[in-house]
């Protein structure tokens, strides 16, 4: 069972790749990291906070919920989409995934509330 945590929801304000809006060091990513169970619970309990209309909401996760490795090799980004009739679709990609996300679509970012 994952510990309870408040999740902050922010919106992308500039285009960029994952390191541009999550940070590019182990320290910054550890600050942003959410446990897998916390991510799942938030998505199930608060779908109203997720970006709607098939646009993405992102969260930093690590393999087996371990701390972020210095070389970032265990870091992934989950992105969840709310589809028609409220169906959720989530995918997980490596942090190094090179796609640039367009802030004009209002993608959101989940982080533990500090």
The residue extents of the domains of the chain are 7-112
Residue 70 neighbours by CB distance under 10 Å: 9
Q: What is the tens place of the pLDDT at every residue in 18-60?
A: 999 999 999 999 999 999 999 999 999 998 999 988 789 999 9
pLDDT over 90 for what percent of the chain? 78
Nearest Cα neighbor of 89 from 53, 114, 65, 61 is 53
User: Cα separation of 108 and 32, whole Å?
Assistant: 13
Say yes or no to pLDDT of 73 above 90: yes
| pLDDT at res. 87 | 87
In the block, residue with structure tokens 């510990």: 3
- Residue 44 CA to residue 98 CA, distance in Å, equals 28
pTM: 0.90
Q: What Å distances lie between residue 106 and 2, 53, 88, CA to CA?
A: 29, 11, 17
């Amino acid at each position: 069972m994952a510990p309870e945590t408040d999740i902050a929801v922010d919106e992308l304000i500039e285009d960029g790749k994952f390191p541009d809006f999550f940070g590019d060091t182990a320290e910054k990513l550890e600050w942003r990291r959410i446990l897998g169970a916390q991510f799942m619970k938030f998505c199930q309990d608060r779908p109203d906070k997720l970006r709607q209309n098939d646009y993405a909401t992102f969260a930093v996760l690590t393999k087996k919920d371990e701390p972020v490795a210095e070389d970032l090799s265990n870091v992934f980004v989950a992105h969840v989409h709310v589809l028609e009739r409220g169906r959720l679709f989530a995918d997980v990609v490596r942090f190094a995934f090179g796609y640039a996300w367009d802030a004009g679509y209002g993608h959101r970012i989940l982080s533990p509330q500090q």
